[in-house]
Structure 1
């Protein structure tokens, strides 16, 4: 699917589900890593993660576009367009959109805890994705020194 086809799909979804025109551009952005898509407040454009299309197909892209169109239309109308706003949640339910995309959930599941640490005093161990400076941090339970396993 090209960016032009994505824009046409977005215009079609907007007309069908929202009964409103989508006057901006929709494009794929492969730099998106942790999200399926985003609505750009400054430009009005919508960007979609191409991995969503590759991994899950057209229906996943449609769900992402519905979510981003909720942000789009509410923002242009001057209403609550953020996730926590009631107007956003109500519109998302009405168009049968989803709050989270599958690609984001899979990304979170794939993240592995690469570093394991233990307290030298109380022997409590824990895992972290990022490396800790063991000279700077101490055990939360007993204030003992940490060691990398």
Structure 2
């Protein structure tokens, strides 16, 4: 699939506007399905989202990035928090958040002695320096959740 031509087609069909820049595959994207670069107008997309979730969901990701693209070049609010972005995304049936491709892996589990609040962490925490954010109680180290 020629990605730029696909994005141009989606832009014409769903937005009625031309996409005049380049769309490229980027396998390094892990937490997102796509990315818009305002400085040069190009779009990056994660090919794993197309492979894993199919073309219907991938098209919604393309619509999401095209919302950023078209609003930016119209001088309107193109960020996630802007009302214009939210309205346009809803009109074109774009997806707000791309589904996760990878499970979060937490290596350490800590809990508060006082209130029982659980904290999952990827890195080890010095229990002498940190307390519970909820009640200021002392933290205890639970058994590792993912032992290798």
TM-score range, shorter chain: 0.7 to 0.9
Please report the TM-score for the alignment, with normalisation by the length of structure 2: 0.83
- Per-residue deviation, residues 52-105 of structure 1 (Å, max 9, x unmatched): 011112222211111100100000010011112121111112212121122x3x
**Richer in helix (by share):** 1
Structure 2 counterpart of 1:24 = 21
Who is 2:145 aligned against?
Answer: none
Aligned residue pairs total: 140
What root-mean-square deviation, in Å, do the aligned CA atoms of Structure 1 and Structure 2 show?
Answer: 1.9
Q: Which of 116, 119, 127 is 2:109 aligned to?
A: 116
Q: What does residue 94 of structure 1 align with?
A: 91
2:65 aligns with one of 64, 68, 88? 68
Query: Which of 118, 132, 136 does residue 126 from structure 1 map onto?
Result: 118
Relative to structure 1, is the Cα distance of residues 143 and 101 closer, same or farther in structure 2, using a 3 angstrom cutoff?
A: closer
| Structure 1 moving runs of 4+ over 6 Å | none
- The reply to whether residue 52 of structure 1 matches residue 49 of structure 2 is yes
Q: Is the 8 A contact 1:48 1:61 kept in 2?
A: no
Residue 7 of structure 1 corresponds to which residue in structure 2?
Answer: 4
